[in-house]
Structure 1
Amino acid sequence: MGHEMGNTREEKRADLLKRLIDAAEAEIIEHGLAGLKARAVTTRAGCALGALYNAVQDLDMLVLHVNSRTLNNLGTELRIALPPKAAPVDTMQALASAYADFATRNRNLWIALFEHRLPPGVDAPDWHKKDHAVLIEVLLPTLGKLRPDLDKDALILRARTTFAAVHGVVLLSLQGRFVGVPADVLKSEIAALVTAMTRGLQATPE
């Protein structure tokens, strides 16, 4: 009896958490991260305001759950985009194109990944940090083929630099910054950037 009640309690908590994540995700899609309000989330989720703080501690932690879901969805799309038995250069192009597509289609959720800041002194939980790893891990096998001379640490560093270059172009464009490339040429400019990067990334013979 007690065991069944325990399961029911856990199931209810899991259901509440999912409803809160769904609601926060919908609010971010509609209003952006800056427009996210706890009361709007709980109203959409159909629960009391206090339930949010019992389920996830605070609104910041709820955003981490939304961001983890976004990262998992992004990771899935990047893996699907990997062309089978393609040359490393073509694989890099496919990954960059898929990244830009995902960011464009999920603009507010994607921007929330990089705009959200935890309060000073609060560290992100390990489970959330691990979810960020997909952004780099998906690049490593292909970069390893382009630069077989690099050890693991150097390869990870190069993957971070490569990601940052593509990400920066996408971010400035989607934010409509003056220096950002226009949306209608974003994909072609990213392709040009990746072409230049992969030429530079390939190991040169001694």
Structure 2
Amino acid sequence: MARKTQEKREDLKQRLIEAARNRIAADGLSNLRARDVTQDVGCALGGLYTVFADLDDLVIHVNSATLKGLEASLALAEVKDHTPTDRLRNLARGYLRFAVAHRNLWKALFDHRPPDNRPSPEWHLEEHMFLMGVIAEPLAELQPTMSETARAIRARTLFGAVHGVVSISLEGRFVGLPIESLEQELDDFILTVAAGAAARQV
């Protein structure tokens, strides 16, 4: 009996995550409502709170699924034998393409703010950091003398630069780039950064 109850809870949990994901993808995070999500899966409003602490907890789980989708879209295994420069270029292209294809889900990764009295769980923060790790790996080959701490900071800097350009461009800010130019500009930017990093080792 206990096992069957747990299976039902897990099934409801996954259906709520999927429903919330669909709502965010269609209407954006700011329009997400608990009542809409529970109506989509055909359960009472209280059913949500039997598997999640609150709506913020549900959003964290949606964002977790989005991060897994982002990781899959980067095709890391396909380029693992490529040069470090090409791996960085692949990361930038993959990040941009994911953001364009899943704009509202991508935005939710950065727009969601959990309550001050209940910060994001450690496991979710670690999920957010996976991209820093895959950026740091090719950087280590380009600048092998850089310390691990400095490399981690450089990975964040590089991510921030790429994310910033993607973000202001997709939001249509006046300083943003036209979408049709964005991928080429990011590619040239990564080539410039990688060439500079390699030159500093000479």
- Fold equivalence (TM over 0.5): yes
Q: Which moved more, 1:156-165 or 1:192-201?
A: 192-201
Provide the rounded CA distance (Å) in 1 between the counterparts of 2:83 and 2:201. 19
Structure 2: tracts of 5 or more residues without a match:
none
Q: Is the 8 A contact 2:143 2:201 kept in 1?
A: no
Once the two structures are TM-superposed, the CA of residue 81 in structure 1 deviates from its matched residue by 6.7
Provide the rounded CA distance (Å) in 1 between the counterparts of 2:191 and 2:36. 45
Aligned to 1:99, the other structure's residue is in SS state helix
Residue 146 (structure 1) aligned to one of 142, 148, 151: 142
Counterpart position of 2:122:
126
Once the two structures are TM-superposed, the CA of residue 82 in structure 1 deviates from its matched residue by 4.7
Counterpart position of 1:21:
17
Determine if the alignment matches structure 1 residue 156 to structure 2 residue 152. yes
Q: Which moved more, 1:132-141 or 1:55-64?
A: 132-141
Provide the rounded CA distance (Å) in 2 between the counterparts of 1:96 and 1:23. 29
Provide the rounded CA distance (Å) in 2 between the counterparts of 1:196 and 1:27. 39
Q: Percent identity?
A: 45
Q: Is the 8 A contact 2:17 2:61 kept in 1?
A: yes
Q: Is the 8 A contact 2:23 2:32 kept in 1?
A: yes
For 2:46, the aligned partner's letter is G
Q: How does 1:1-206 map to 2 (within 5 A)?
A: 5-80=1-76, 82-202=78-198, 204-205=200-201
Task: Return the TM-score normalized by structure 1.
Answer: 0.93
Aligned to 2:74, the other structure's residue is in SS state helix
Task: Return the TM-score normalized by structure 2.
Answer: 0.95
Cα RMSD, aligned residues only: 1.4
